Amino acid sequence: MVLHRPAAGAAGLVLVASLASAPAAAQGLLQRGETIGIPTPPSWTLTLGALGGIRPDDEGSDDLAGFGAPLIDLRFRDLFFLSSRDGLGVSVLRGGGFAAGPLLR
């Protein structure tokens, strides 16, 4: 298929105009405070739950007893946590999926 010069020129102009407007569109997103990529996690998270099960009354016993416990997990970003499972702690050193700091259980 052979394009006539006016059609080829118009197609080229449309292509150049669309490529030139892409940075302006991206700049508009950033000016409105929108981010591209990973969303910011919420500041506070609270998880509530319950744990239950059955265990022997005594070691080696055939008698069974039920038990239950609440599960509470309160976290502030990746800095502070209070949890029935993990205890109370502060992450002083953080990075690459690793955190270290004081912990009370």
Strand arrangement, sheet containing 80-83: 44-56, 64-76, 80-83, 87-90, 103-104
pLDDT tens digits, one per residue of 17-48: 665 555 555 555 556 656 677 777 789 999 99
**Residue 57 sits in the same domain as residue 100:** yes
**Residue 58 sits in the same domain as residue 100:** yes
Compute how many other C-beta atoms are within 10 angstroms of the C-beta atom of residue 81. Answer: 21
Where would I find the beta strands (DSSP E) of 9-92?
Answer: 44-56, 64-76, 80-83, 87-90
**Residue 32 sits in the same domain as residue 50:** no
**Residue 32 sits in the same domain as residue 48:** no
**Residue 65 sits in the same domain as residue 84:** yes
> 12 is in which domain, residue-wise?
1-38
Task: Write down the mean pLDDT value for the chain.
Answer: 79
**Which pTM does this prediction carry?**
0.51
Phi, psi of 57 (to 5 degrees): -60, -50
39 vs 81: CA distance, rounded Å: 21
Please report which confidence band the pLDDT of residue 60 belongs to, taking 50, 70 and 90 as the band edges: confident
Identify the sign of the CA torsion 62, 66, 72, 73.
Answer: positive
**Residue 55 sits in the same domain as residue 100:** yes
Q: Choose among 78, 76, 80: nearest CA to 98.
A: 78
**Residue 87 sits in the same domain as residue 73:** yes
